[in-house]
A and B are shown apart, each in its own frame.
Chain A
Amino acid sequence: MSGQPGGASPEPPSIVRLREVSLSYGKARALDAVTLEIPPGRMVGLLGPDGVGKSSLLALVSGAQAIQTGRVEVLGGDMASAAHRAASCPRIAYMPQGLGKNLYPTLSVSENVDFFGRLFGQGREERERRIAELLRSTGLAPFADRPAGKLSGGMKQKLGLCCALIHDPDLLILDEPTTGVDPLSRRQFWELIDRIRMSRTGMSVIVATAYMEEAARFDWLVAMDSGHVLATGTPAELLARTGTTTLDASFIALLPEERRRGHEPLVMPPRPAGAEGEVAIEAEHLSMRFGSFTAVDDVSFRIGKGEIFGFLGSNGCGKTTTMKMLTGLLAASEGTARLFGREVDPSDMEVRRRVGYMSQAFSLYSELTVRQNLDLHARLFSLPAERIPARIEEMARRFDLGGVMDSLPESLPLGLRQRLSLAVAMIHAPELLILDEPTSGVDPMARDAFWRILADLSRKDGVTIFVSTHFMNEAELCDRISLMHAGKVLVSDTPAGIVAGRGAATLEEAFIDYLEEAAGRQEPEAPAAAAPEDGKERAANARFFSPRRMLAYATREQLELRRDPIRAALAMLGSLLLMFVIGYGINMDVENLSFAVLDRDDTTVSRDYVLQISGSRYFTQKPPITDYADLDRRMRSGELSLAIEIPPGFGRDVARGRHVEVGAWIDGAMPSRAETVRGYVQGMHSTWLAQKARELYGDGAAAGAFRIEIRYRYNPDIQSLVAMVPAVMPLLLLMIPAMLAALSVVREKELGSIINFYATPVTRLEFLLGKQLPYILLAMMNFLMLTAFAVLIFGVPLKGSFLTLSVAALLYVICTTGMGLLISTFMGSQIAAIFGTALLTLVPAVQYSGMTDPVSSLEGAGAIFGQIYPTTHFITISRGVFSKALGFSDLTGAFLPLLVAVPVLLGLAAVLLRKQAR
């Protein structure tokens, strides 16, 4: 530890010290006045059932969670101080709960680790060395190029560990790292941790686990229950204190009296005789192929009614796929599956009503409360309405959900959520239960309770249960089990039969033996000696702004973007298409307006008057109007934009110079069109008058006294495209980059990888700029393409300097992506982000930015908005450069607001972004 700041100081007596720490999520209290000191240099286990506050405690210690009350000291400093968090972050590694929650599924294994290396400011050579080392020692080296999303659960956990270990932490925090991992991978995982600890003796490790059998290997234990610490000490001390022989028993002994009640070892009663015969599930030569990959290869089995059938196997061996084929979620490539003698048919509602399915990933509605989830499913399974409340109560009691009925699943720990999923799968009392790893993440007591229910269902009610699991003690409870590996069934027998057949002592041994035989033995290499600490590196990490960390995010974002070519293609091609559509579609030059005449005179003079209008390109004549009713109807339907009424005796009166009035009605529903029509009609009327006057009175008449010459500047041919393209480009460069930038942040929030931002030394500005950079580049490419198309394809002349336009575009897209980031700080869900971005960009840009109406003539709030909105200024620049050949000096007034907006937007986003979970 010589490289630490003030490295000579002795190790503090405790690496973590909590005093009176409490934490609540809404009404739920996760930690209740916890006071705890954890000694350094040990492997510390945090034990306890689900929902007792283990994860909250670890999140507080890692600095990812903001402190509510109490004092948290880690590595000798107060975690409430941002400065200490920034200084200690590089020394802490945190691996959150959930399979690969903080990994990026589209990035490959090595890219994931590389990203973390960059976050901790490591140079390329150092990263490459460390990544090679870590992947080799975890056995992930052969999969270095596989996307993280395609890894099995065990491999994801190992990858998570690699990511955590990349920066040689002094404190390693692992939150249930082996949940949902098969026994072989679990064994390898702990061996790996042991090897790492051997090579890095100073490192402290804190592990949360619900599995007592793992706890025996830890140096020091903290037993927790309902937000309190029950006891601390070495495993031997705990055993001695409670006078028990196993940690399981000692934990139960530590529990308060009322929690202990009713706990006794679980014994599976034998299957009643004569239950054989009827077959509930039958699979014949089932195969499933995804492209060239065979997930399930020729699997056959029969499961009798009332049987509990266990499915075991390493992660990713095809268990889930097989189950999905049985439920009809996936159609088998080959073979047949039958439920209750009927072939699986996804549209067969009757069979679905008899089956309960629980998928591996939590798949209930996180926006509904526990009670609402149960209620919804009860109703979907058509339970009689009057029986529903009682059934929900029963489920709540059976699965011990009573206390959380009105909480949202998101606020519950994994174990409780699993229980809720089970309750939902069983709410309609199905005859067949298909359970995919139902007890992953559930603590031992709850698992016992759960299996008691399964035993009840199978033995008393004759429910058939098809369950997959990683727990050997659960497998032993099954009537029969199948071992699967790489899509094939290795063996199918009773648990005792398998143990005997292999000549092993326990089922776990037999299982690992089978797997190792199938996979071929491979001993991972021992890690090389830890690299010597590098003092400069630590110092570099503490800096306020590190370009390297920023680039880490930028590189990762750009990789993700490249892995999703559809998104980038949509952004590029979409904007081209939009420019084309809008450029051609919007036409301010109103033409082809429909009009009709109610001619009550019908003389040559009246027809001459009408000809004046119908002869122009602006109007198209419709059949004559017969009467007022006809006029009214045709105007109401919008068929006519203009109706002319010529009074009887018009021709005669004109000839005699008597006063006469022509009536004209304009459809005012669309005011801008009406204005134009009015202008046209007035113009034609006066032209006609002048003509007539000349005919009647000769050339001396008033006409021709003077002329008005109209010069349409900048766009002499008054082409819409030429005027629209410079205004449409700013619109497109606003919406698309803003949307992409906003989603890139909100997506991390919604999918959980935002935790990396909370728990690593990245500062807000680094995070934001890193996220922004790739989208600025994308937007600039977009800009270049749009300009090229505008000039080369649409023939819009670019009169001014391209450089001026490019510089403005760069400033502008920094603004627009910054707006996206700013929006993202408010939004919690991607839906809200999409809607919010669309609303906050599209409307102001179209209406207040001078695209159609100049900003100078807007009124009220819209006018203020228009003046500060960046789009206004970029439209001025874009039009100025495209149509008016202006340069930098002429456009200073428009450049300045853009220059101001950049730091303002980024600053606001940085201030509003949260660096810790709340």
Chain B
Amino acid sequence: MRLKNILQLGIKELRGLLRDPILLLLIAYSFSLSIYTGASAMPEALSRAAIAIVDEDRSPVSGRIALAFYPPYFVVPRLISAAEMDSRMDAGLDTFALDIPPNFQRDLLAGRSPAIQLNVDATRMTQAFTGAGHIQSIVTSEVNEFLSRYRSGGTLPVDLALRARFNQQLNKSWFGAISNVISSITMLSIVLTGAALIREREHGTIEHLLVMPVGPVEIMLSKIWSMALVVLLASSFAILVVVKGLLEIPIEGSIALFLLGTALQLFATTCMGIFLATVAGSMPQFGMLLMLVLLPLQVLSGGVTPRESMPEIIQIIMLAAPNTHFVILAQAVLFRGAGLSIVWPQLVALLGIGAVLFYFSLRRFRQFLR
């Protein structure tokens, strides 16, 4: 193994990349505009939730409830009739419909404990749960306040001081920006290395390399370092300029530590790219395999929904994926300001997964060259 060869072959890869302006444009797009629009489109956990109110009571208290919903959490509620409710929910226009029954205020004051019906479109998973909770507490507090003027009764003076750490406003765009960076890193590194290898085979250049004094390890390492470097540079740009600069997301921890993690992640994913390329016979097959691998990596790594809520078997399987560890590391370092003493297990895991992938892809690569 000669470092000089690895360097030269890697430079060749970089030069090849420079010859494909569309590809460069796509790389630039995925690390700038895509992250920016992705993050800024991300709604707050509950943002502009579509709510409608069927007010069959038309009393002061029902009017009070209707007034309690306003942007940014909710759209200004539409007052609709009971007949409209079903068709509007069917069409997906409203996520929530609050039905206040006739004589609600009278029954309430009489202590007959009337019921308000809250209809939730459960197909809107994200908003359904958080929104229902919000609406419940808003209605309760409005009704209680209304009641407190009529009745006296003891409430306990115990307060709950709820504070969110690391992202006080629970700004979803912070999270969205980082998970977009992570998915761009994964996608790009696998595509670039894998497709570059298949391209060499489809164009017959790999055969040429093999009659030269260059070994498979050198060919593989050259692809790994060059493509990883491109992605590392692009992700540094994304973090420093797009995330920190344009989106003004405060970064708690050390960016250097994050980039170290990125480098290890890239080591693992580029090896994965080579592995996939050796498995796929042609570019279209590689494209299919890519989809098969990318989507689960992205969806199940904890970058979209929390890992804790996934079935246990999936949690265990996903421990073998580099993304899972990288997502944990990225969140810990960038949001929670965690240092090396806290994220070292993730670094070790990434290195381990990378080494295993390297071993397997090298073995496949040697067979591939035969």
Of the candidates B2, B23, B170, B207, which one forms a contact with A674 in the assembled complex, judged by CB atoms under 8 Å apart?
A: B170
Instruction: Assess whether B108 is in contact with A705, with CB atoms less than 8 Å apart.
Output: yes
Query: B164-185 CB contact bits vs A (8 Å, 1 = yes)?
Result: 1111101110111000100100
Max count, chain B CB within 10 A of own CB: residue among A594, A715, A750, A865: A715
| Alpha-carbon gap, A587 to B299, bound state (A) | 10
Whether A701 touches B154, Cβ cut-off 8 Å, given contacts A638-B331, A859-B43, is yes
In angstroms, how far is the closest chain A Cβ from the Cβ of B48?
4
Max chain A CB contacts within 10 Å: which of B156, B281, B296?
A: B156
Partner of A665, one of B163, B300, B332: B163
CB atoms of B281 and A858 under 8 A apart: no
CB–CB A673/B40 < 8 A: no
Which positions 338-370 of chain A face chain B at CB distance < 8 Å? 346-347, 349-350, 352-353, 355, 357, 359, 361-368
Determine the distance from Cα of A831 to Cα of B23 in the docked complex, in whole angstroms. 8
A590 — nearest CB in chain B belongs to which residue? B309
What string of 1s and 0s marks CB contacts (under 8 Å) between A690-711 and chain B?
0011001100111011111111
Shortest Cβ distance from B328 into chain A, in angstroms? 6
Are A660 and B342 neighbours in the complex by a CB distance under 8 Å? no
- Once the chains are docked, how many angstroms separate the CA of A635 from the CA of B128? 27
The residue that B23 contacts in the complex, of A659, A675, A739, A835, with Cβ under 8 A, is A835
| Most chain A beta-carbon neighbours within 10 Å: one of B89, B123, B130, B157 | B123
CB within 8 Å for A712 and B128 given contacts A352-B213, A368-B15, A835-B188: yes
- Contact between A682 and B160, CB atoms less than 8 A apart: yes
Looking across the interface, which residue of chain A has its beta carbon closest to that of B93? A856
Number of A-B contacts (CB under 8 A): 486
**How near does chain A come to B10, taking the closest CB pair, in angstroms?**
11
Stretch at the interface among B189-197, B235-243, B255-263, B347-355: B189-197
A740 pairs with B305, CB closer than 8 A: no
Q: A290–B338 Cα gap in the complex (Å)?
A: 58
**B23: chain A residues within 8 A (beta carbon):** 829, 831-832, 835
Closest A residue by C-beta to B94: A856
**Inter-subunit contact B130/A662 (CB<8 Å):** no
Contact of B284 among A328, A564, A697, A857 (CB under 8 A): A564
Query: Once the chains are docked, how many angstroms separate the CA of A705 from the CA of B205?
Result: 79
- CB-contacts of B266-308 with A (<8 A): 281-292, 294-296, 298-300, 304-306, 308
**Nearest CB on A from B366, distance (A):** 10
B331 touches A665 (CB 8 A): no
Hey, which chain B residues are within 8 Å of A736, CB to CB?
A: 288, 291
Q: Are B336 and A667 in contact (CB under 8 A)?
A: yes
Interface contact B38-A676, CB-CB below 8 Å: no
Q: Size class of A's contact patch?
A: 35 or more
CB <8 Å contact, A697 and B153: yes
Is the Cβ of A715 less than 8 Å from the Cβ of B161?
no
A708-B140 contact given A736-B288, A834-B283, CB 8 Å threshold: yes
CB neighbours (8 Å) of B60 from chain A are none
Chain A's interface: helix, strand, loop or mixed, by majority? helix
A266 at the interface (CB under 8 A from B): no
Q: Is the CB of B155 within 8 A of A689?
A: yes
A241 to chain B, nearest CB (A): 44
The answer to whether residues A713 and B91 also contact, given A366-B203, A577-B292, A584-B314 and a CB cut-off of 8 A, is no
Q: A670-B331, A852-B125 are in contact. Are A328 and B46 (CB under 8 A)?
A: no
B153 touches A842 (CB 8 A): no
> Residues 815-838 of chain A: 1 if any B CB is under 8 Å from the residue's CB, otherwise 0?
000000000001111111111111
Taking a contact as CB atoms under 8 Å apart, the answer to whether A826 and B22 are in contact is: yes
Task: For residue A829, give the distance in angstroms from its CB to the closest CB of chain B.
Answer: 6
Instruction: Select which of A578, A673, A713 is within 8 A of B296 by beta carbon.
Output: A578
Q: Mark A834-865, 1 if CB is under 8 A from B, else 0.
A: 11111100110011100011101111111101
Contacts known (A376-B8, A566-B281, A880-B92); A589 close to B132, Cβ less than 8 A: no
Q: Select A570's contact among B11, B37, B289, B298, beta carbons within 8 Å.
A: B289
The verdict on B59 contacting chain A, using a C-beta distance below 8 Å, is no
Q: Does any Cβ of B come within 8 Å of A521's Cβ?
A: no
The distance in angstroms between the C-alpha atoms of A853 and B126, with both chains bound, is: 6
- Given known pairs A585-B314, A839-B30, the reply for A862 and B306 (CB within 8 Å) is no
Query: Which listed residue, B30, B34, B118, B153, touches A708 by the CB 8 Å rule?
Result: B118
Question: Which residues of chain B in 18-53 are interfacial with respect to chain A, using CB atoms and an 8 Å cutoff?
Answer: 19-20, 22-23, 26, 29-30, 34, 37-38, 40-50
CB nearest to B313 among chain A residues: A584
Whether B160 pairs with A681 at a CB distance below 8 angstroms is yes
Q: Which segment of B76-84, B109-117, B356-364 sits at the interface?
A: B109-117
Check A859 against B41 for contact (C-beta < 8 Å): yes
Smallest Cβ distance from A678 to chain B, in angstroms? 6
CB distance from B335 to the nearest CB of A (A): 4
Does A587 contact B305, Cβ atoms closer than 8 Å? Answer: yes
CB distance from B3 to the nearest CB of A (A): 12
Task: Judge whether A4 is part of the interface by a CB distance below 8 angstroms.
Answer: no
Which A residue sits closest to B107, measured CB to CB? A706
Specify which chain A residues have a CB less than 8 angstroms from the CB of B211 in the assembled complex. 327-329, 352, 355, 357
Say yes or no: A853-B127 contact (C-beta < 8 A), given A357-B211, A689-B158, A713-B122: yes
Q: Judge whether B126 and A659 touch: CB under 8 Å.
A: no
* Residues A723 and B214 in contact in the complex (CB < 8 Å), given A329-B207, A831-B195, A893-B91: no
Chain B binding surface, main DSSP class? helix
Q: Does B208 touch A at the CB level, under 8 Å? A: yes
Chain B residues within 8 Å of A636, by CB:
332, 336-338, 342
Q: Are A637 and B342 in contact (CB under 8 A)?
A: yes
Q: A352-B213, A723-B123 are in contact. Are A564 and B19 (CB under 8 A)?
A: no
**A804 at the binding interface (Cβ < 8 Å):** no
Most central of B118, B140, B147, B288 by chain A CB within 10 Å: B288
Task: Give the distance in Å from the alpha carbon of A582 to the alpha carbon of B291 in the complex.
Answer: 13
Q: Which residue of A lies closest to B305 (CB)?
A: A586
A715 near B122 with CB under 8 A, answer yes
Q: Are B43 and A659 in contact (CB under 8 A)?
A: no
In this complex, the member of B87, B164, B196, B202 whose beta carbon has the largest number of chain A beta carbons within 10 angstroms is B164
Asked whether A212 is an interface residue with its Cβ less than 8 Å from the other chain, the reply is: no
Q: Which of B133-147 contact A (CB under 8 A)?
A: 133-137, 139-140, 143-144, 147
B residues less than 8 Å from A678 (CB atoms)? 162, 164, 170
B129 adjacent to chain A (CB < 8 Å): yes
Closest residue of chain B to A664, judged by CB? B162
Query: Which chain A residue has the least Cβ–Cβ distance from B343?
Result: A637
Known: A585-B314, A842-B295. A705 touches B337 (CB 8 A): no
A848 to B130, CA, bound (A): 20
Contact B282 A668 (CB under 8 A): no
Given the complex of chains A and B, what is the CA–CA distance between A328 and B211 in angstroms?
Answer: 8
Are B308 and A591 touching (Cβ within 8 A)?
A: yes
Which residues from 71 to 107 on chain B have a C-beta closer than 8 Å to any C-beta of chain A? 75, 87, 89-92, 95, 104
Q: Which residues of B contact A587 (CB under 8 A)?
A: 305, 309-311
Q: Which residue of A lies closest to B332 (CB)?
A: A638
What's the Cα separation between A735 and B292 when bound, in Å? Answer: 10
Query: Known contacts being A352-B212, A832-B23, A857-B49, is A682 close to B162, with CB within 8 Å?
Result: yes
Report yes or no: A854 in contact with B95, Cβ–Cβ below 8 A. Answer: yes
A41-57 vs B: 1/0 string, CB under 8 Å? 00000000000000000
> A831 contacts B284, CB within 8 Å?
no
CB-based contact A743/B284 at 8 Å: yes
- Give Cα A837 to B195, complex, Å: 14
Note all chain A residues with C-beta closer than 8 A to B119.
711, 713
Looking at A157-165, A444-452, A470-478, A883-891, the stretch in contact with chain B turns out to be A883-891
Whole-angstrom CA separation of A890 from B93 in the bound complex: 12
* A675 touching B41, Cβ below 8 Å: no
Asked whether, in the complex, the Cβ of A854 is within 8 Å of the Cβ of B160, the reply is no
Contacts of B30 in A (CB 8 A): 839
Residue A24 CB within 8 A of the other chain: no
Question: Quick check: B162 and A666 within 8 Å, CB to CB?
Answer: yes
Q: Do B22 and A827 touch across chains, with their CB atoms under 8 A apart?
A: yes
Task: Report the minimal beta-carbon distance from A543 to chain B, rounded to whole angstroms.
Answer: 32
**A to B CB contacts below 8 Å, 11 in the list:** A574-B291, A668-B167, A668-B170, A697-B154, A702-B151, A704-B113, A706-B143, A710-B118, A713-B120, A744-B284, A854-B95
